[in-house]
Amino acid sequence: MVPGNLYSESIPLTDPEYFITLYPNPRTGIVLFLWPVLPNSFKFVLQIIIMPEISYEEAEKLLRKYVKDKELLRHSAAVSKYVYEISLGIKKRHPELKIDPEKLRVAGLLHDIGKDLGKSHLHHINGGRLLRSLGCPEIARIIEKHTFAKEASEYENISGDFEPKTLEEKLLTYADAYVIFRPVSFEERMKDIEERRTRRNPGTLKIIEMGKPRIIKILKEVDKLLGEEDE
């Protein structure tokens, strides 16, 4: 287990100071004042719905603060655009499904923000930690599970839940699995990852081979929702 990780920890709903730390915002003063009389169920709703996370414009500034590589910035913007477009398409075809295209737009932009915060293949963990510390747990949850996060964590013997399960989590994986600077084939994208990452981490090929079957299953699932594969 990574020291200090938050993946399996629930927010202590009886501790308002911890809540305020996770959600720094002027409105939290009101929450702190009312905290003693709020039922736990309402506190849980507050942390998910009422407390804002981050706008796309704020996310752009944050990304440029932590990422300096121009190619990575281009890739991040392209993934953001693509995941936003496909989420809008699925929402139109399946209005009953729970999808927030704007949240995915932000998650797409920030999915690689942890690249320079530690081992590159563990950027999902590093990026998630950063975003949680900034009061963005929903965005953190999505990026912690994108693409090969599960296999990279297993490769480093790090425990935690890094497999995408919600549709939003799967859509980010879908977009990242197809986009370099624009959408390409899955094979071309995998070749791109292998060529770039192997130089920094010899274990990349093993991670990719471990994760390919799982990723392909997600791609097929999303293709059906997009109407690009026969039911």
Q: What is the 3-state secondary structure (H, E, C) of 47-112?
A: HHHHCCCCCHHHHHHHHHHHCCCHHHHHHHHHHHHHHHHHHHHHHHHCCCCCCCHHHHHHHHHHCC
Q: Which of 7-11, 22-26, 114-118 has the highest mean pLDDT?
A: 114-118
Kindly report, residue by residue over 62-119, the tens digit of the pLDDT.
999 999 999 999 999 999 999 999 999 999 999 999 899 999 999 999 999 998 888 8
Kindly report, residue by residue over 140-166, the tens digit of the pLDDT.
999 999 988 889 888 888 888 899 999
Whether pLDDT at 229 is above 70: no
As a whole number, the mean pLDDT across the chain is 81
Q: Which residue has the higher pLDDT, 35 or 49?
A: 35
Name the pTM for this structure. 0.75
Distances from the Cα of 92 to the Cα of 56, 85, 166, 174, angstroms:
22, 11, 18, 18
Give span(s): CATH 1.10.3210, the chain: 56-226
Could you name the CATH architecture of 56-226?
Orthogonal Bundle (1.10)
Per-residue pLDDT at 46: 58
pLDDT band with cut points at 50, 70 and 90 for residue 32: low
